């Protein structure tokens, strides 16, 4: 394949389906199996998809936990206001705020990761597409070469068959003529005696042995 960078630039902005999730894509390699480079790219994409699913689940869990802590803060603030000097509520309020700050940091990290992963997947998927195209076109080229070889062989074989059919027919005509002349010259009684010898196994000269089967 030519410069893959040029292909990537030409395909920029064009939507490329996620190949590893397409069953027809897997069927492209059923005959010969996937090349090493294709396997490695597929594994990397699968790894990123797993990472994306985990990050998304973690993000959802953190959001739920944050909402729970926010509810706790509201309750603790009410408790502090109603009971001035309530150190328990104040400590809980302080701890919940600390946890929320910590969760906000984790949520931000998840959001960043969830923003970056699709870009990485798309980049690997486009590289995988180029490797797939390279494989498919090499396979088609190889098949085309085999098709040409077999077409040429069949053409030669047909010509050879036609030539041999003519030779066979000529030999059959010659045999019939020879046998007819021998009958005319020596007579049927003499020919019958020699037929017993020359029609024995290994000496048969009938026109077409296959017709006897």
SS3 sequence of 97-112: HHHHHHHHHHHHHHHH
At 203 the pLDDT is 44
Q: Please state, in angstroms and as integers, the Cα–Cα distance from residue 12 to each residue in 3, 6, 136, 142, following that order.
A: 15, 10, 21, 30
pLDDT score recorded for residue 200: 45
Torsion angle of C-alpha atoms 143, 145, 147, 151, degrees rounded to 10: -170
pTM over the 0.85 mark: no
Record the tokens describing residue 15, joined without a space.
Answer: 């939507």
Q: Where are the domains of the chain?
A: 4-154, 162-208
Range 5-33 burial, b when 16+ CB lie within 10 A, else e: eebeeeeeeeeeeebbeeeebeebbeeee
CA dihedral 130→132→138→142, nearest 10 degrees, is -170
pLDDT in tens, 38-97: 999 999 999 999 999 999 999 999 999 999 888 877 776 665 555 555 566 667 778 878
CB 135 within 8 A of CB 28: yes
Which three-class secondary structure state does DSSP give residue 20? Answer: helix
What is the rounded average pLDDT of the residues 133-152?
Answer: 96
Question: CB-based contacts of 128: which residues, under 8 Å, 6+ apart?
Answer: 19, 20, 38, 41, 42, 45
| Beta strand segments in the chain, E | none
């Amino acid at each position: 394949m030519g410069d893959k960078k040029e292909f990537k630039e030409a395909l920029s902005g064009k939507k490329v389906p996620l190949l590893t999730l397409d069953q027809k894509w897997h069927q492209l390699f059923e005959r010969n199996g996937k090349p090493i480079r294709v396997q490695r790219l597929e594994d990397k994409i699968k790894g990123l998809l797993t990472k994306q699913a985990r990050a998304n689940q973690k993000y959802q869990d953190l959001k739920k936990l944050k909402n729970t802590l926010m509810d706790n803060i509201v309750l603790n603030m009410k408790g502090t206001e109603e009971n001035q000097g309530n150190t328990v509520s104040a400590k809980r309020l302080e701890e919940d705020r600390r946890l929320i700050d910590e969760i906000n940091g984790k949520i931000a990290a998840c959001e960043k990761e969830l923003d970056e992963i699709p870009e990485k997947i798309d980049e690997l998927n486009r590289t995988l597409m180029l490797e797939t195209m390279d494989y498919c076109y090499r396979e088609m080229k190889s098949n085309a070469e085999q098709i040409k070889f077999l077409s040429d062989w069949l053409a030669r074989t047909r010509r050879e068959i036609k030539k041999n059919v003519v030779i066979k027919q000529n030999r059959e005509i010659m045999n019939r003529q020879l046998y007819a002349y021998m009958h005319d010259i020596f007579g049927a009684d003499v020919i019958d005696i020699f037929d017993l010898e020359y029609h024995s196994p290994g000496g048969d000269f009938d026109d077409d042995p296959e017709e006897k089967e």
